[in-house]
Structure 1
């Protein structure tokens, strides 16, 4: 075959890889899909899950090309390197580099707490990681020493690089911080914890708020605009390849497609009603989502419709029967991760059905951390109240549960009363 013909066929293959449409969700994970990344040509996707694995997918046909297993906890973050390397970060605090073959190449970095986010520097030679240990790290891939960024008063939920190489971090302390090469960061104080962050090619920063609002922040720290996505917390963000659009996902299952210049929602994608934990653009006109239904789905952004079948019927609200109950309202913050009924099953956290009188770490088929399994606690109204009084990190060291407290004693008591009724 002449060289020109081979080049033409190669070009055609690349075109088909980008334009081929998967006609069914990608199935293979045994838990919620917590992280997603898509290659620049759109041919492959990398997903991380609460089931402790990552999967490399062929997007066009939905086939799992590789299953990556090296972590002892949920894979919360994934990233793709320019040279084809794969990165996974997990609850076990480790960031693992994968290349060809079934085994990881090496552990790139280690945090003292769960890894919550990953980002690759513009030069492709460094990575940034965020952790619930309260720090972010910039780690050279050539094995040099890591630069630790500390200062957040709580867990760091996300990291991003600005075009000039500066690091952006976002945390549960309701701040976004912009770090120069040396010296103190520029701190942007917000009104709500920040669950995710991305940076656009022009330096603008998008921050996902636990209050359901997306904030657009200028490189100098000023807030240019606020966009209401929904009443539920925004938990994941993705930026389109051209930087013009943002996708913002909520624990309620809706995804808002935002025109960044206009700072408004142009389209809302409505799924089966389960949390959407992860997002990635596939070219200009498709979005890949991962969520509580354990699937990786594709969406046509020109129509707002799913690519392939999607059961669109919303699940009944499990808390509808408790309307007006203060404890049920407090539990709203927990329903994304925990079910209450015998047939509800495990989500990001174990089912709470029958929780009172149960020993800690006793739900079958749930991947508790080793440290959590070593604790000696029986769940009672008193121990549950204490958990939320002092926080999971202090009451159950080694937990995978996000750090949260309920400061009002009457709210803790209302939650306990609700759980006593709802989990029988």
Structure 2
């Protein structure tokens, strides 16, 4: 991910090879998607955000970020491009080409690299800067494009640092003192004028961080190890005038120092606790640091370097351990990412806070995102903050109180789906515990997030009318959202001290039930969300799954040893038990009217019961699966059942004929909530083993013969009973 200096342009490389471009001034507008030929390996954005350079699959490209611009390939060089870098003014592009020359015998191949330079206006006319032994790990270009530095890796030697300047064949920067050069990203720095190079180097054993080694390019044989060490988790903090911020080896203070021995380090002190993470403004006038102390917790400190012993403690936030700190380039804003901890393990309960440095006691919590953030960026003027996780990117404007804006929807695997009865709206649970909404009538429209929760959502349930979405989070708290308006935060329901592990919601969204790990079933009236939950039943059996029918008047629960229990939750009647011939029933589903019950067994059987008919407890068997049933669902009109087994096979069954219809679908998700069906079985939604969503639209009810369609409608009438008795639909149509 890269952001322009003014914060208006944001670029991100996606795993599928596409490049996403957003105008942060208009975050609600869908970003441009640039289709690269190969997954992007490196990406660079000019300071004004007008030009993007990328590499991938051995090819380099220049992309004008304007909507009318067309990409141009970097050509005229020899070999495949592995890395690109660009000057801040966007005029110069540098590419590294790594090649392997076959040796006289196996294992004797030689690594060589070359560096090539283009002007942005002439991408077909390169200039070779150098060719020499080794492999390029990183390259950086000075702001004016007149100097390039790189970390060169050798198979049997320590990594080396080189600099190439206009008209210079290259200079190796000598390293001494036993340091080894790191090859991690963002560990290499070159000043705007190309006169200074800095690199992160492995520190001595026992140190709390790494060391910084600095050279003036005119004195390549005189490396200087800066006093103190740098944060292991972030880039080197260097100002535009080449002042470097480090923390003292014991963590009790900060050191701001120039690159020459004549520059006396400025010691920044006055904070309470041991310093953890550090940040520096572009002009070196403002420094920030975090401390994590068991007694006082995490703190954020701000120094005006003109008053090095009088830091300000930033107050007003309530958060856990600080994971990341950023100071805007102009020093006007500080952003920190915190995470709560439970039993020493970081949870999803992250918070993002922003301070205007002019008001250190009035932070603003940046809210509205979903899932874990792994990286945050802030524009130089502190007006735009961007956070990204594994599958989504979020944007905040610090001048407003608006919640996060999602940039272009969710791009990750889906591990659970639900569908409205009309097949128009789908909800899904992401691999990272986030929850999303899709309008299936507008497939080009990005997904929209359900927000408000801090922890990962583990299970979801959507009412058939599309009014209510419910979910349980990692602590077992139950959340509800207005499914028609996902931008309104959800709310947590109260009244249980137990951890809810499964949910079901009535078709009209008014009744919600959940069960815990001890066999207790709880119920909420969602029209009164402030009321506490009530206990419906305390079973002597642990529960595997629950389902609701007839707008909450029929409740079915799959248990470990008592089969499927069915009762009216409002009347408190004695539960009726339904079983199969063998194995346990793991999954259950009810038709909308509550008359048809379907269950999936551990032995691969699918069973159906007419619970409004006779007292017969043994159901009808639908045979065909060869592994345990992971999911089963019934169409609202009671005509079709869909089941998925643990081997990823999906089968569709007609209730009337008690047989399979259509081909077996293979390669789909084997966990619960992997399939969903609409009211008349015209829309089927399923997730495959990679978490991709698949949608089938069936124009007719599986193109059933007219006899079967008519018989299905007639079989519950008195006339059928009078003239055909116990004849099944299949027997009536196929004598």
TM-score by length of 1: 0.48
Choose between structure 1 and 2 for higher RCO, CA contacts under 8 A separated by at least 6 residues: 1
More helix by share: 1
Structure of higher CA gyration radius: 2
User: Between Structure 1 and Structure 2, which shows a larger proportion of strand residues?
Assistant: 2
What TM-score do the two structures reach when normalised by structure 2?
0.31
